[in-house]
């Protein structure tokens, strides 16, 4: 399209909305935004689940360690001491 002598060319990027699939572009932008948001929320949930599972796993070794240490300490006290 040729410009008239009184028209000046429009600057590139001045107005993104207009003919040429602008509505589709906005749809895709919104879709990408929603997907990023869902991914971020899901990763937060997964991190929370992993942390809780790790805490549950760490309780058992700690419990057994204290239990067995208690047995060892009690045995030491149960051994008779012979004085000569």
Note whether residue 13 is domain-resident: no
Residue 52 lies in a domain: yes
Q: Is residue 2 part of a domain?
A: no
45 domain residue, yes or no: yes
Q: Which domain holds residue 47?
A: 22-79
Regarding pTM above 0.85, the answer is no
The DSSP-derived string for the chain is: -PPPTT--PPPTTS--SSTTTHHHHHHHHHHHHHHHHHHHHHHHHHHHHHHHHHHHHHHHHHHHHHHHHHHHHHHHHHSPPP--
User: 5-48, pLDDT tens digit by residue?
Assistant: 777 666 656 555 556 677 888 899 999 999 999 999 988 888 77
- Number of structural domains in the chain: 1
Does 3 fall in a domain?
no
**Domain contains 84:** no
59 within domain boundaries: yes
Classify residue 17: in a domain, yes or no.
no
Q: Are 33 and 27 in contact (CB under 8 A)?
A: no
């Amino acid at each position: 399209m040729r410009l008239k002598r009184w028209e000046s060319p429009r600057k590139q990027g001045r107005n993104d909305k207009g003919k040429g699939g602008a509505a589709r572009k906005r749809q895709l932008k919104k879709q990408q935004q929603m997907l990023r948001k869902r991914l971020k929320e899901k990763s937060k949930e997964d991190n929370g689940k992993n942390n809780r599972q790790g805490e549950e796993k760490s309780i058992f070794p700690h419990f057994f360690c204290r239990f067995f240490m208690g047995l060892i300490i009690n045995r030491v006290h149960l051994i008779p001491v012979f004085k000569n």
